[in-house]
Amino acid sequence: RGAHKRNRRLQGAPGASCLPLELFLPVHTRYMSPGLPPEADGAAGAAAQPAQGPSEAAGAAAFRRVHPLHYHQAFLAQGVRPDGRGLLRGRRAAASAAVVSSADGSAMAKLGQTTVLAGVQAVPTLPSEAEPGEGRVVISLDQPLAGGERGGQARQEREQSALSELLQRSAAGMVAAASLCIEEEKAVWECRCTLHVLEADGNLTDACLLAMLVALSDTALPAVRFSTGEGEGEDGTARVVVVGSETAPPPSSAASQH
């Protein structure tokens, strides 16, 4: 009792083709110049042509909603996507760690316009009887449901449920459960990772996986000590107290190697 547990990082586990395509493309993707980076393409396009007027943009959005099949067939006929990318060109990926100072680990991931914010909170809790020396990672997904046609909300709920299950299974392979043990049979860490979908514009699964991976890699478990008294604390948490925040060297981990 009273022994300090230094803070540490998580360890890894072992007909429409005749329609003019320009009607639908944003101006910054209409005039992409071969060999130029996306920023230069956008600048060249903006300089070449004036931006879409409100009526033109509204017409494209309305046509996409009313005739989605024809809308996408127009792009397929030209070998491009609605955002101007080639059919085999992936979205640009970017991720930043430690973006939320109040979290034990956090990350922001972007794939194109799709943006996901991940935050990890490490909470001491009692271990399970079956696995007294292993902690756990709990994943939750926060994505607002979009309005739409009848049955659309139910479909979105099913998709979110499936994505949540996939993320939970993936997290089990990213973190070694034994590295979340504070003291066997007494206390373990429960890392609660919440993924907030800020914008969904395709590749949401990949963006969530990237944000979760970076956030877990960024997570540092606080240094703790056992408090006096027996049993569990409030809300099922173990009686441990955070005593410091000194930095411990990050161990090699599967999460940080990906």
- pTM for the model stands at 0.68
From 252, 187, 244, 246, select the one nearest 217 (Cα to Cα).
252
- Walk along the chain (258 residues) and give the pLDDT tens digit of each residue: 445 566 677 776 664 333 444 444 443 333 333 333 444 344 333 333 345 556 767 777 888 888 889 888 888 998 998 888 888 888 899 999 999 999 999 999 999 999 999 999 999 999 999 999 999 999 999 998 876 566 678 888 999 999 999 999 999 889 999 999 998 988 999 999 999 999 998 899 999 999 999 999 999 998 888 765 555 555 555 567 766 554 443 333 444 444
pLDDT of residue 58: 76
